[in-house]
Amino acid sequence: MTSKKNIGIVKPKIFESLIPLRLQSGKILKEYDLIYETYGTLNKDKGNAVLVCHALTGNHHLAGRHSSKDKYPGWWDNLIGPNKPLDTNKFFVIGINNLGGSDGSSGPKSTNKKTKKSWGADFPVVTVEDWVNSHEALITSLNIPKLAGVIGGSLGGMQVIQWALKFPKKINHAIVIAAAPNLTAQNISFNEVARQSIITDPDFNKGNYYEKNTQPKRGLRIARMLGHITYLSDDVMESKFGRKLKNKNYKYDFKTEFEIESYLNYQGDKFAKEFDANTYIRMTKALDYYDPANGSKRNLSKVFKKIKSKFLVISFTSDWRFSPDRSKEIVKALLDNNIDVKYAEITATSGHDAFLMEEPRYHAILKSYFNKML
Amino acid sequence: MKLNKNNYRYDFPIIANWVKTNSKVLDLGCGDGELLNYLKKERNITGYGIEKDSDKWLESLKKGINVLQVDIEAGLPEFEDNSFDVVILSKTIQSMHNTEEILNEMLRVGKQVIVTFPNFGYWRDRIQSILGVMPKSKELPYSWFNTPNVHLCTIKDFDDLCKSNKYKIVDRLVLTDTKSVKFFPNLLGALALYNLVNR
């Protein structure tokens, strides 16, 4: 067996679309850019392309490094590369930063070509549907008639479902991981708390903070801390941190004392430095809005009638934000339509975050599935 | 410990005989997917398998089976009434807890139900019992301390269950190794195969 290798240095590319995109909100993006990266080589028959959709805080940079100085590789480097489960010796892998993002695609931070200023609050609210429409424009520009597969976890999984619904003839395999057909009230609640913490930060300035050279860091870090708690399971927090203290004794003040507090603060600070607040509130909105069946489980089966692709659905036992039961709703709607589907429920302690981890069974499943795909 | 379930595949042709060409089949406890694969080749079936065990689930996936990792002890809520031509429970019933419930669920989901199980009334098992040890055989390879089997039954027991639940037995075949057993099947038969419908 050949050993796993890393992808090395990669360079992003820009897709500039001059064709207006009609958004779900009714607004129109006259022109837009999408930043993307590709790994591996597109076959002559163009049949080996796999699109990877990113979740809330991801981007187009899936694997490899932009320079040898980069501390960390792309966010799904453990999955994608030569001889890795999504093997770039076989597949042509594509990562796109979604519209509204802040890593090079058109979004609040990018320049509005009309005003020559950053979009800020004026950048429209975009949805999963809008993203998939823009993905399809990019895929078409690469002369790929049909994707071998589309894969994504969490919010990325919703985009995979949308791909299968909107472009049934352009996708062979849909891999939906730790996802749901829509968000529950509890899930929307977490997103709303996150948004409120950002929006009510005085530095947010209604979303127009770029010219003031500020970032609503207080809001962002609280949003991230809250998110982080929900991505982990009670068990994994207990085993990693428990009630461990930073110092020996209680200090009877309000500085961080427990290790979990210090961990959450660290994660919050790190995130507030790296991530854009306008993007964060838009990504959570896209999550909240996605609901292809308008809230009805019965209707999901009707909506899924259009689907032509085969499905692999994966959930994780300790994931309480996108629980296995939610994945089973997707499976049920597929079964009702006699669609080819494989479903795995993976025993994992790390909660929703498990979909990003290199859990052996999880990766063995993906490897086997990709092996049979071409 | 490995399940021996698929070491003995002489029951496959009999099951295939009961399955019509192009049927839609659900195999509960499909293991490594061999039976579904066999039925695909012999009867051009479509369908799904359910397997709880992760290793066997992966074997099924590698064969291209539509395999679902759900627990059938909770019933079959993912499946609509009469949504399958055939639902199969092959050499799995003895390890189920909610035996009656799952049989009812199978008959709700499938128009036809095939159940196979090792006959605990088989003479070799009876002799071992008389000799004072828990029976072990080709069909029941486990020791008492590591067996997954909790609801072993005899052919007579299963007939009684069908009667009390009004399951209609369309066909019944009893085998020892590859041979059909016609006389004293509950004594001389090692494996029982039932083809049922809801009355």
* CATH number for A211: 1.10.1740.110
- How far is it, in rounded angstroms, from Cα A59 to Cα A97? 5
| Residue in chain B nearest A365 by alpha carbon | B58
A4 within a domain of the structure (yes/no): no
| Residue in chain A nearest B81 by alpha carbon | A336
Whether A316 and A170 share a structural domain: yes
Whether A261 and A335 share a structural domain: no
Chain segment A92-149, per-residue pLDDT in tens:
999 999 999 999 999 999 999 889 999 999 999 999 999 999 999 999 999 999 999 9
- In this complex, is the C-beta atom of A347 within 8 Å of any C-beta atom belonging to chain B? yes
Contacts of A365 in chain B (CB under 8 A): 58, 61
Task: Please check whether residue A247 is in contact with residue A299, taking contact to mean a CB–CB distance below 8 angstroms.
Answer: no
Min Cα separation B126/chain A (Å): 40
Indicate whether B1 pLDDT > 50: no
Distance of CA B134 to the CA centre of its chain: 22
Whether A31 and A78 share a structural domain: yes
- The closest CB to that of B57, out of A332, A344, A369, belongs to A344
In B127-188, beta strands by DSSP E? 167-176, 179-180
- How far is it, in rounded angstroms, from Cα A232 to Cα B150? 37
Query: What is the ipTM score, two decimals?
Result: 0.93
Report residue A1's pLDDT band, with 50, 70 and 90 as the boundaries. Answer: low
Indicate whether A18 pLDDT > 50: yes
A87 within a domain of the structure (yes/no): yes
Indicate the residue among A258, A284, A310 that finishes a domain: A284
Task: Please check whether residue B29 is in contact with residue B94, taking contact to mean a CB–CB distance below 8 angstroms.
Answer: no
CATH 3.40.50.150 fits B5-198, yes or no: yes
- In this complex, is the C-beta atom of A298 within 8 Å of any C-beta atom belonging to chain B? no
Instruction: Tally the domains of chain A.
Output: 2
- How far is it, in rounded angstroms, from Cα B68 to Cα B76? 12
β-strands A92-96, A117-118: how paired?
A: unpaired
Contact between B48 and A335 using a beta-carbon 8 Å cutoff: yes
- In this complex, is the C-beta atom of A213 within 8 Å of any C-beta atom belonging to chain B? no
Contact between A332 and B78 using a beta-carbon 8 Å cutoff: yes
Q: What is the identity of the amino acid at A29?
A: L
Whether A211 and A168 share a structural domain: no
Indicate the residue among A229, A261, A284 that finishes a domain: A284
Whether A75 and A158 share a structural domain: yes
Whether A18 and A138 share a structural domain: yes
Contact between A368 and B58 using a beta-carbon 8 Å cutoff: yes
Indicate whether B35 pLDDT > 50: yes
| Residue in chain A nearest B63 by alpha carbon | A372
Is B163 exposed, middle or buried, given 0-12, 13-18 or 19+ CB atoms closer than 10 A?
exposed
Whether A271 and A323 share a structural domain: no
Chain segment A187-203, per-residue pLDDT in tens:
999 999 999 999 999 99
Please tell me the predicted confidence (pLDDT) of residue B177: 85
A7 within a domain of the structure (yes/no): no
pLDDT, mean of residues B57-86: 96
Q: The domain containing residue A277 runs over which residues? A: 187-284
Whether A294 and A195 share a structural domain: no
Indicate whether A295 pLDDT > 80: yes
Task: Please check whether residue A150 is in contact with residue A161, taking contact to mean a CB–CB distance below 8 angstroms.
Answer: no
- Output the CA torsion B176→B181→B186→B190 (10° steps): 10
* CATH code for the domain in which residue A320 is found: 3.40.50.1820
Whether A249 and A151 share a structural domain: no
- What are residue B36's DSSP bridge partners? none
Chain segment A212-226, per-residue pLDDT in tens:
899 999 999 999 999
Contacting residues for A163 by C-beta, under 8 A, at least 6 apart: A51, A53, A132, A135, A136, A147, A150, A170, A171, A174
Please tell me the predicted confidence (pLDDT) of residue A5: 84
Contacts of A364 in chain B (CB under 8 A): 58
Chain segment A246-290, per-residue pLDDT in tens:
999 999 999 999 999 999 999 999 999 999 999 999 999 999 999
- In this complex, is the C-beta atom of A341 within 8 Å of any C-beta atom belonging to chain B? yes
Contacts of A346 in chain B (CB under 8 A): 54
- Residue to substitute from A302, A345, A347, A359, interface B, most B β-carbons within 10 A: A345
| Residue in chain A nearest B24 by alpha carbon | A338
Chain segment B139-188, per-residue pLDDT in tens:
889 999 999 988 999 999 999 999 999 999 999 999 998 899 999 999 99
Catalytic center residues of A: 154, 319, 352
Whether A206 and A349 share a structural domain: no
Cα angle vertex A139, ends A136, A141, to 5°?
110
- The closest CB to that of B78, out of A335, A340, A365, belongs to A335
Whether A96 and A142 share a structural domain: yes
Contacts of A345 in chain B (CB under 8 A): 69-70
Chains A and B form CB pairs within 8 A to the count of 46
Whether A127 and A207 share a structural domain: no
Is B122 exposed, middle or buried, given 0-12, 13-18 or 19+ CB atoms closer than 10 A?
buried
Indicate the residue among A261, A284, A307 that finishes a domain: A284
Contact between B61 and A345 using a beta-carbon 8 Å cutoff: no
Contact between A335 and B61 using a beta-carbon 8 Å cutoff: no
Give the rounded percent of residues in chain B with a pLDDT score beyond 90: 82
Contacts of A329 in chain B (CB under 8 A): none
